[in-house]
Amino acid sequence: MSHQVLLYHIIFRTKGSVLSLDERHELKLYAYINGLCINKGCKLYRVGGMPDHIHMLVSIPTKYSLSEFMKVLKVETNKWIKESNLFPLFTGWGRGYAVFTYSMSEKQSVFNYITNKKNHHKHISFTNEFHDTLKSFGINPDDDDFFDD
């Protein structure tokens, strides 16, 4: 038997980075995301975010490609958000997503990072933080199109 555990830190944002994910209803959205993960056999360790973006720490079974998983996640959450009428400013998800892999020994650190997002963003903007993350992975932020819609 083969074993593979990939721990993904996934970040995706609202179209145009519009502040449309109302914090009063975010737990319902996160519960929906958790249900999608369970249905796909994924292990969602943590989900959280801000009104313009979401972070997830998740393991995805190898039978799904990451792009396949993200397509389903974005399509299904988009549909649920629009049907729920809980996020009237939401028009859709941004074009892409970002994913970074971590080892299991780093899991708690990434878990805590996602848990403390709201406090963290009081001191640094999402754009600056995202660019710092890219740099830490050796990616030039000037070559990135994450914020392009």
Sorted by where each starts, the structural domains of the chain and their CATH numbers stand as: 7-143 (3.30.70.1290)
- Over 80: is that where the pLDDT of 103 sits? yes
Contacts of 12 (CB under 8 A, 6+ apart): 53, 54, 70, 74, 93, 94, 96, 97, 98
Q: For 50-99, what is each residue's pLDDT tens digit?
A: 999 999 999 999 899 999 999 999 999 999 999 999 999 999 999 999 99
CA dist 47 and 140 (Å) reads 26
CA dist 58 and 10 (Å) reads 8
DSSP 114: H
As to burial, measured by CB atoms within 10 angstroms (0-12 exposed, 13-18 middle, 19+ buried), residue 11 is buried
- Three-state DSSP state, 27: helix
As to burial, measured by CB atoms within 10 angstroms (0-12 exposed, 13-18 middle, 19+ buried), residue 23 is exposed
Q: For 114-141, what is each residue's pLDDT tens digit?
A: 999 888 777 889 999 999 999 999 999 9
